[in-house]
Amino acid sequence: MKKLDEVIGYSGPEHGNRVPSGNSPPPRHRSTNFGTRNGVDAQPSPRSLRRTGNNGGSFSTESTPKSPRIPLETRPKPGDWSMDDSWEHPPARKQPESFPQESPAVCLKCRDFSTPDHHASRFPRQSYNNIRQLAIELTSPFSDPIDKARAIFTWMHENIAYDVENFFNGTVKASTPEATLRSGLAVCAGYADLFAAMASHANLKAVVVQGHGKGYGYCRVTDGRIPKFKAGHAWNAVKFPHGWHLIDCCWGAGSVSEQKFNKRFAPSFFTQSPEEFRCRHFPSKASNQHCRDTISWETYILMDDGPTIYRDFTDARVDFSPYTLEPATLVLAPKTRYQFRVTRSCEHQGQTPLVVLLCVDGKEKLPLRNDGRGGLTCTGTTGSTGTTLSLMYITNLDGKPSGSFTVDYYESRVGRAAYSFSGLCQWTVG
């Protein structure tokens, strides 16, 4: 199974992070996922997409890009009107401009969301105490429901923080969308409830989905014993022109590390397909998978989580897909030859300009080459039990930044020029 996370958003206390030997890229400490009402489910951090789990609240791998911002002077000023709870009719404000509309596209991964992302940064939570007013002003410039939903998703990242204090103290209580708007704090259920409330005022059809999330507290099954299903996470399903779509505002807003919330935009939790989404989310009702063929709880919980994913793997500058990564298993057989392959997150994006290397137990470094099918590939042989294999990419060579030199140039300079690199993912041999 593919783990996503600053893995790619979500992690909490470290669970089994390995320290690679030699020169292999060091694993990054994961941050926690965000939680639900009972504080069980928390999202792991981008650093280890696949190894995080879910206890009860939830949240999510990765330096994932923050949404772009517009100049501060263009934002509404909190002091422009009273914040008194009895205020029902806010003073008239200048209506937001209308933007050119993007035609509905099934592929959300390569769709340009810069306009709704910029727009969402203009509406600070402190300026509103009325969800309807906020939702209308935030989404009215857009006619496309996808852009409306994206504006709300990005606004959640900008304005709502994970309630780490109550989550770790075990004092999370049921809340309301109005209370979340006032406090700016929530666990996963609070994020989902507020998104659904704002979506309803934006004429979007959206529902809250409850289920299991592979976030904080999740441990992969290694003995074949299937644990009892327990719902401890919440997310949303929203109706788009091409059908129902699944999003996780909580894991998309940031990550938790060392009991602190790290505001980190993870747009992959808006753009994943339902098939990708269910690798880490299992709803209480099978119909809420919104896939052509549903899977069982047993299939979901026994999925191989795949190699450990570090945060740069899904960073916008790298943008690889953990769902097409080969080999797809975490543990590889010793003294065995494997094909290693990585692709961009979207098949429409073309070939990556990055130079990616396979590092065998921190020693041998083999470059991956274009396979003519949109991916990078090479073959390598595993070492003995307990060793590791990692993928890394060259971030700087001879003073040249990543993307400005080729594999051939790297091979002509290796051993004669200084270079730096960053880890992408790691397999273990056992």
244: in domain: yes
CA 213/CA 284 separation, integer angstroms: 11
Is 319 among the domain residues? no
User: How do strand 185-186 and strand 161-162 relate by DSSP bridges?
Assistant: parallel
Give the CA count within 13 Å in the CB-facing half-sphere of 176: 6
Nearest to 389 by CA among 310, 325, 304, 331: 331
Contacts for 225 with CB less than 8 Å, ≥ 6 apart: none
Residue reference for tokens 């507290």: 217
Asked if residue 50 is part of any domain, the answer here is yes
Domain co-membership, 338 together with 292: no
Q: Is 295 in the same domain as 228?
A: yes
Are residues 125 and 183 both part of a single domain? yes
Q: Quick one: pLDDT band at residue 255, thresholds 50, 70, 90?
A: confident
CA-based end-to-end distance of the chain: 18
The total of structural domains in the chain comes to: 2
Residues 299 and 329 grouped into a single domain:
no
**Residues 243, 328 within the same domain:** no
Question: Residue 248 and residue 384: Cα distance in Å, rounded?
Answer: 40
Higher pLDDT, 140 or 106: 140
Q: What angle do CA 104, 110, 114 make, to 5 degrees?
A: 80
Task: Report yes or no on 422 lying in a domain.
Answer: yes
pLDDT on residue 90: 35
Query: pLDDT tens-digit profile of 322-363?
Result: 999 999 999 999 999 999 999 998 888 888 999 999 999 888
Q: Do 241 and 381 lie in a common domain?
A: no
From the list 383, 391, 378, 379, the residue with the least C-alpha distance to 429 is 383
Examine the fold and report which residue of 303, 338, 357 is the final residue of a domain before the chain moves on.
303
Give me the amino acid identity at 374. G
What the block records as the tokens of 34 is 């965000």
Q: How far apart are CA 316 and CA 223, in angstroms?
A: 36
What pLDDT is recorded for position 317? 82
Q: How far apart are CA 255 and CA 28, in angstroms?
A: 13
CA-nearest of 343, 330, 359 to 51 is: 330
292 falls within a domain: yes
Q: What is the CATH number of the domain that holds 400?
A: 2.60.40
pLDDT in tens, 113-170: 999 999 999 999 999 999 999 999 999 999 999 999 999 999 999 999 999 999 999 9
Domain match, 339 and 207 both: no
Residue 107 structure tokens: 């592929």
Domain extent, residue 218, equals: 1-303
Beta carbons of 365 and 393 less than 8 angstroms apart: no
Residue 311 lies in a domain: no
Sign of CA dihedral 150, 154, 160, 161: positive
Residues in the chain: 430
Structural contact between residues 338 and 332, judged by C-beta atoms closer than 8 angstroms? yes
* Any domain includes 202: yes
- Region 51-60 average pLDDT: 38
Q: How far is CA 293 from CA 76, 107, 283, 290, in A?
A: 46, 20, 14, 8
Give yes or no: residues 270 and 182 share one domain: yes
Residue 310 domain-assigned (yes or no): no
Measured CA to CA, the distance from residue 329 to residue 177 in angstroms comes to 40
CB distance 421 to 394 below 8 Å: yes
Residue 98: band (very low, low, confident or very high) from pLDDT cuts 50, 70, 90? low
Number of neighbours of residue 163 by Cβ within 10 angstroms = 25
Name the token pair of 390. Answer: 């990692």
Distinct helix (H) and strand (E) counts, the chain? 11, 20
Question: Tens of pLDDT along 64-80?
Answer: 444 444 343 433 333 33
208 φ, ψ (degrees, to nearest 5): -90, 135
Over residues 280-324, the pLDDT tens digits come to 999 999 999 999 999 999 999 999 889 999 888 988 789 899 999
Say if residue 331 is in the same domain as residue 298: no
Do 347 and 288 have their domain in common?
no
**Prediction pTM value:** 0.73
Clarify whether residues 335 and 394 are in a common domain: yes
Domain's final residue, options 243, 271, 303: 303
* Residues 226 and 350 both lie in one domain: no
Task: Count CB neighbours of 380 within 10 A.
Answer: 18
